[in-house]
Amino acid sequence: MPMTTPTLFKEYIWLVKTIFNAKAISLSDLNIRWVETDMSGGVEMSRTTFYRHKCAIEDMFGIYIECDRKNGNKYYIGNEEVLREESVQNWMLSTLSVSNMLGESQSLQHRILLENIPSGDGKLQLVINAMKENRQVMMTYRRYGSPASNSFTLAPYCVKLFHQRWYLLGCLSNGFWATFSFDRMEEVKMTPTKFKLPEDFDASEYFRESYGIVVNDKVKTERIVLRAYGYEPYNLRDLPLHHTQREINKTEDYSDFELRLKPTTDFMTKLFSRGEWLEVLEPQSLAEELIEWHRKAIERYKK
């Protein structure tokens, strides 16, 4: 009986995770672990099936399973960096893994609570199709607080998921780059006009010095030192605020963390939301700005 697509996905996910966690593993050792799973039915994975899965994983996820013939023909993830960062491959693998797990837990559907991530009512798919074809899109957009909508044409450069919302980075006809939230788009249409993506454009690099989706060239990149109290150090270790974050000091009462990024509004909002549990040690200018935010909040409550 041929395997169904969900079954194949489970095997792909298992293969990638097992090889990634093992660092390097031979096919015989891989089969020892495979036979222990319910998926195997107690039967080893043939070399032909393994290579078929290997090719499918490369085609579908862009994850390369390589063989080190000098090290006993052991298999490893050739581009393992994509499984350690905010990449499409990592996101797809995690999403499919969770989806499979939930699919096998239908009896618990009333005891598993999820967060909604809007997909933009088809707008996300349209924009991705436009990106594939390098075609401009015409958008009708209404910003928060704006009394009216605006329509314009832009070249869609990349999309980014941040805090349960999808955003589009695009280049307007005047050459200005801007980021738009999908949930504020009233209408999006693909146009026949083609655009050429700059050869040096790198989406990850563009946002590398930002906390989220705000990129402001007027804000300089700074060394930021945060002191975390209570349980906050555990939160920061499990969910780093930025890829540059590193712990530089640890005591029984607090831990200090260093980051290098642009302290834009979305980053400051995150710090502000942690209240008394996070203190800015450096730079002083950022600390003073947050103090002013807290002062205004206190004044509002007094009223």
Segment 119-139, tens digit of pLDDT = 656 888 899 899 999 999 999
Least confidently predicted of 11-25, 45-59, 83-97, 160-174: 83-97
**pLDDT at residue 247 in the model:** 96
For residue 92, pLDDT beyond 80 = no
With a CB cutoff of 8 Å and minimum separation 6, the contacts of 76 are 19, 23, 24, 25, 65, 66, 68
User: Stretch 165-183: mean pLDDT, rounded?
Assistant: 91
For residue 280, pLDDT beyond 90 = yes
Q: Are 143 and 184 spatial neighbours (Cβ–Cβ below 8 Å)? A: yes
User: Stretch 266-295: mean pLDDT, rounded?
Assistant: 94
Residue predicted with more confidence, 92 or 277? 277
pLDDT band, very low/low/confident/very high, at 164 (cuts 50, 70, 90) = confident
CA angle 65, 70, 75 (to 5 degrees): 20
**H/E/C letters for each residue in the chain?**
CCCCHHHHHHHHHHHHHHHHHHCCEEHHHHHHHHHCCHHHCCCCCCHHHHHHHHHHHHHHHCCCEEEEHHHCCEEEECCHHHHCCCCHHHHHHHHHHHHHHHHCCHHHHHHCCCCCCCCCCCHHHHHHHHHHHCEEEEEEECCCCCCCCEEEEEEEEEEEEECCEEEEEEEECCCCEEEEEHHHEEEEEEEEEECCCCCCCCHHHHCCCCCCCCCCCCCCCEEEEEEEECCHHHHHHHCCCCCCCEEEEECCCEEEEEEEECCCHHHHHHHHHCHHHEEEEECHHHHHHHHHHHHHHHHHHHC
Residue predicted with more confidence, 88 or 217? 217
For residue 237, pLDDT beyond 50 = yes
Least confidently predicted of 34-48, 114-128, 158-172, 256-270: 114-128
Half-sphere exposure of 80 (CA within 13 A, CB side): 14
**pLDDT at residue 1 in the model:** 40
Across the beta sheet with 135-141, what order do the strands follow?
Answer: 177-181, 165-172, 150-162, 135-141, 185-194
Least confidently predicted of 40-44, 101-105, 144-148, 197-201: 101-105
User: Stretch 217-237: mean pLDDT, rounded?
Assistant: 94
For residue 291, pLDDT beyond 50 = yes
For residue 185, pLDDT beyond 80 = yes
**pLDDT at residue 221 in the model:** 95
**pLDDT at residue 87 in the model:** 64
For residue 100, pLDDT beyond 70 = no
**pLDDT at residue 106 in the model:** 65
**pLDDT at residue 31 in the model:** 92
For residue 236, pLDDT beyond 50 = yes
